[in-house]
Structure 1
Amino acid sequence: MNRIERAPWQADALLLLVTLMAAGGWIFSREALAGMPPLLFIGSRFLLAGLILLGFAWPSLSRLPARRVRRSLFVGLLFSLATGFWIMGLSVSSHLGESAFITSLGILMVPVLGILFGDTPPRTTWIALPVALAGFGLLSLNAGFRVELSQLLMVCAALCFALLINVNTRVVRNVAALPLTTLQLLAVGAVLTLVSLIFERQPMALSTPVLGWFLASVVLASSLRYFLQIKAQGMTTPSHASVILMLEAVWTALIAAWWFNETMTPLQLSGCALIFLALLINRWYWVRKVLRRWLPAQTSA
Structure 2
Amino acid sequence: MKKRYINNLILLIIALIWGAAFVAQSAGMDYIGPFTFNSTRSILGGIVLIPVIYVLDKKRKDEISQGKEVIQNKKTLIIGGICCGFFLMLGSSLQQIGIQYTTAGKAGFITALYILIVPILGLAVGKKAGIKVWIGVVLAVIGMYFLCMTSGLSIAKGDFYILLGSVAFSFHILVIDHFSPKADGVKMSCIQFFVCGILCMIPTILFEHPELYSILQAWKPIAYAGILSCGVGYTLQIVAQKNTDPTVASLLLSLESVFSVLAGWVILGETLSPRELFGCALVFAAVILAQLPERRPNLSYRDLQREESRPHHSTL
> Which stretch shifts more, 160-169 or 63-72?
63-72
TM-score, with length taken from structure 2:
0.69
Distance 2:28 2:294 in 1: 35
Paired position in structure 1 for 2:87: 78
> Which stretch shifts more, 137-146 or 28-37?
137-146
Judging changes above 3 Å, is the alpha-carbon distance between structure 1 residues 35 and 177 closer, same or farther for their aligned structure 2 residues? Answer: same
Decide which of 185, 200, 208 is 2:208's aligned counterpart.
200
Distance 1:130 1:14 in 2: 23
Judging changes above 3 Å, is the alpha-carbon distance between structure 1 residues 26 and 270 closer, same or farther for their aligned structure 2 residues? Answer: same
Decide which of 228, 233, 236 is 1:225's aligned counterpart.
233
Paired position in structure 2 for 1:293: none
- Residue 33 of structure 1 deviates from its aligned partner by 1.1
Distance 1:229 1:27 in 2: 20
- In structure 1, give the amino acid aligned to 2:97: M
- Residue 187 of structure 1 deviates from its aligned partner by 1.0
Conserved in 2, the CA contact under 8 Å of 1:45 and 1:217?
A: yes
Secondary structure of 1:36's counterpart equals coil
Asked if 1:115 is matched to 2:147, the reply is: no
- Name structure 1 gaps, 5 residues minimum: 289-301
Distance 2:238 2:174 in 1: 17
Distance 2:52 2:229 in 1: 17
Judging changes above 3 Å, is the alpha-carbon distance between structure 1 residues 162 and 208 closer, same or farther for their aligned structure 2 residues? Answer: closer
1:161-176 alignment, distance < 5 Å = 161-170=169-178, 173-176=181-184
Conserved in 1, the CA contact under 8 Å of 2:98 and 2:158?
A: yes
- Residue 246 of structure 1 deviates from its aligned partner by 4.5
- Residue 253 of structure 1 deviates from its aligned partner by 0.7
Conserved in 2, the CA contact under 8 Å of 1:81 and 1:160?
A: yes
Decide which of 35, 53, 58 is 1:39's aligned counterpart.
35
> Which stretch shifts more, 121-130 or 78-87?
121-130
Paired position in structure 2 for 1:238: 244
Distance 1:238 1:157 in 2: 23
1:262-277 alignment, distance < 5 Å = 262=270, 277=285
Judging changes above 3 Å, is the alpha-carbon distance between structure 1 residues 136 and 246 closer, same or farther for their aligned structure 2 residues? Answer: closer
1:93-172 alignment, distance < 5 Å = 93-95=102-104, 99-128=107-136, 130-131=138-139, 134=142, 142-144=150-152, 146-170=154-178
Judging changes above 3 Å, is the alpha-carbon distance between structure 1 residues 280 and 176 closer, same or farther for their aligned structure 2 residues? Answer: same
Asked if 1:188 is matched to 2:196, the reply is: yes
Identity of aligned residues (%): 20
Decide which of 50, 62, 74 is 1:65's aligned counterpart.
74
> Which stretch shifts more, 214-223 or 14-23?
14-23
Distance 1:130 1:228 in 2: 26
**1:121-147 deviation per Cα after TM superposition (whole angstroms, max 9, x unaligned):** 332354345545555666897335523
Paired position in structure 2 for 1:18: 14
- In structure 2, give the amino acid aligned to 1:65: K
- Aligned-residue RMSD, C-alpha: 3.9
Judging changes above 3 Å, is the alpha-carbon distance between structure 1 residues 267 and 93 closer, same or farther for their aligned structure 2 residues? Answer: farther
TM-score, with length taken from structure 1:
0.72
Equivalenced residue count is 279
Paired position in structure 1 for 2:292: 285
- Name structure 2 gaps, 5 residues minimum: 58-63, 65-69, 296-316
Judging changes above 3 Å, is the alpha-carbon distance between structure 1 residues 34 and 185 closer, same or farther for their aligned structure 2 residues? Answer: same
Conserved in 2, the CA contact under 8 Å of 1:131 and 1:275?
A: yes
